[in-house]
Structure 1
Amino acid sequence: MDLKGRAALVTGGASGIGAAAVRRLAKAGAVVAVADRDDAAARALADEVGGLALPGDVSDLDTMTMAVDVAEDSFGRLNVVLLNAGVTAGQSGTENLDLAGYRRIMGVNVDHVVFGLTAAVPALRRAGGGTILATASLAGLVPMPGDALYTLTKHAVVGYVRAAAPELAKEGIRVNAVCPGFADTPLIAPARPQFGDFPLLTAEDVADAVEAVLERGEPGECWFVQPGREPAPYGFRGVPGPKGGAAPPDVSWRDH
């Protein structure tokens, strides 16, 4: 992967998968902006890779817009945006709903991806194209029993990526998702003893997948990442259409 002369922005970039991706992008020659709520950690990693620290809450629209604007202004362009920040729910989501916790996971896992993509698109247009990659999860492809809210948010990211990709691809902007299984990162640290000998991904495994998607991904693909397997696009099964084989209409709700 050769990213010399390219600029990247990584959210949730100060630890775990985000930090591994920041280092991988920088090693490939990109200048990288590290966006994270942990100001000190973001600055430490940005100093390490010669990049830029952007502290703030990614679930806030103004924060995401400013992060994209500052990164583009500082680097002169923006080519790669990795929307990686994520949290878990800490509740079942099926009873005794904690509204604040629900709003938090929706804000970070869903709103941040929407805010980040919509902010990044104009910058990538100005750069002549680029890639937006969202970190979803295997829970975006299959249900995760016991964590309905996390499953909800990651299914939303996968659907959003797949629906946004075709139109943006016409402008040279590729949109993808990476869908890791359980990874040994701070996100699962509280539950780490429960996994026992279950094989876990490392942050580097997911960075490998990020690199693979950037190198050879096709618009709208959502790549699974599992221990011991090569990352690859997930093969979604086609949903049966109307009887008789009629093609679906090309409808834009903006026209209505």
Structure 2
Amino acid sequence: MRLEGKTAVITGGGSGFGAGIARKFASEGARVMVADINIENARKVADEIGGVPQFTDVAFGGSVKDMAEAAIAAFDRIDILVNNAGITHLPEPMEDVSETAFDRVFAVNAKSVYNTALHVVPHMKASRSGTILNVASTAGISPRPRLTWYNASKGWMITATRSMAVELAPAGIRVNALAPVAGETPLLASFMGEDTPEMREKFLSTIPIGRFSTPEDMGNAACYLCSDEAAMVTGSVLKVDGGRCI
């Protein structure tokens, strides 16, 4: 029960890594808000773990403001924020990615962190405590061709994590990031371009441990970074990648 008595808001919590983190947090005693643009998925996960579902489009400040206010109303405070929601563009030459796709990737992967900072950080500062976990990617550390703008958005998140950690440490707020390799999530086919046995074999050949990241892997890593066991850890990027970045 490492998170007993704590409250958590997880964006993109209705599926994939976010759902894995939500399940782990609930099993460790946290009260969890499952925020997702797909409200049906959010409700399913929330019902499963005894959490609170919340429709949230992280790209829009008004929607994130509603999320923060709903969390305060439900829990009285926000101890943990997990910025997990993210998307990618299809693998293709950088000049072929449409402006619409580019703007959406940065709205969801980068501006979302700005939006949650605007509406959650003030509550954490008021209580002089809190933990923020940003879900980045190995793409921000060891980028692959044809995913240039997605790679850049995750590199942005890593730099934002480190800067946030420095600025917020005097307020008692820790900020860390996770960098998973691709996993069994709804985004897997988009990362690979197509989900075929051949593409999976090619992708897995770059991961020394020989498998994808799982929601359970992410939940376990997130639990540590958001627990009091990591009280001296801030500004770190923990790779959950099976050796991909070695």
**TM-score (norm: length of structure 2):** 0.88
CA-to-partner distance for each residue in 1:186-210, whole Å, 9 max, x for gaps?
Answer: 1113533212271211111111211
2:42 alignment counterpart = 42
Quote the Cα distance in structure 1 between the aligned partners of 2:96 and 2:51: 43
Deviates more, 1:152-161 or 1:194-203: 194-203
Residue 201 of structure 2 is aligned with which of 180, 196, 201? 196
Quote the Cα distance in structure 2 between the aligned partners of 1:7 and 1:63: 20
1:73 alignment counterpart = 73
Point out the structure with max Rg over C-alpha.
1
Quote the Cα distance in structure 2 between the aligned partners of 1:5 and 1:184: 30
**TM-score (norm: length of structure 1):** 0.85
SS in 2 for 1:42: helix
Equivalent residues, number = 231
Q: Which has the higher helix share?
A: 2
1:88 alignment counterpart = 88
Runs of 4+ in structure 1 over 4 Å off: none
Quote the Cα distance in structure 1 between the aligned partners of 2:33 and 2:195: 30
Instruction: Check conservation: 1:133, 1:178, Cα contact below 8 A.
Output: yes
Residue 224 of structure 2 is aligned with which of 193, 208, 212? 212
* Unmatched 5+ stretches in structure 2: 205-210
SS in 2 for 1:196: helix
Quote the Cα distance in structure 2 between the aligned partners of 1:210 and 1:108: 20
* Unmatched 5+ stretches in structure 1: 236-256
Identity rate of aligned residues, in percent?
A: 34
Structure 1 counterpart of 2:111, one-letter code: D
Instruction: Check conservation: 1:9, 1:34, Cα contact below 8 A.
Output: yes
Quote the Cα distance in structure 2 between the aligned partners of 1:65 and 1:219: 25
Structure 1 residue 110: deviation in Å?
0.5
2:57 alignment counterpart = 57
Quote the Cα distance in structure 2 between the aligned partners of 1:56 and 1:80: 17
Higher relative contact order (CA 8 A, sep 6+): 2
SS in 1 for 2:188: helix
Structure 1 counterpart of 2:152, one-letter code: L
SS in 1 for 2:144: coil
Structure 1 residue 91: deviation in Å?
4.9
Structure 1 residue 228: deviation in Å?
6.9
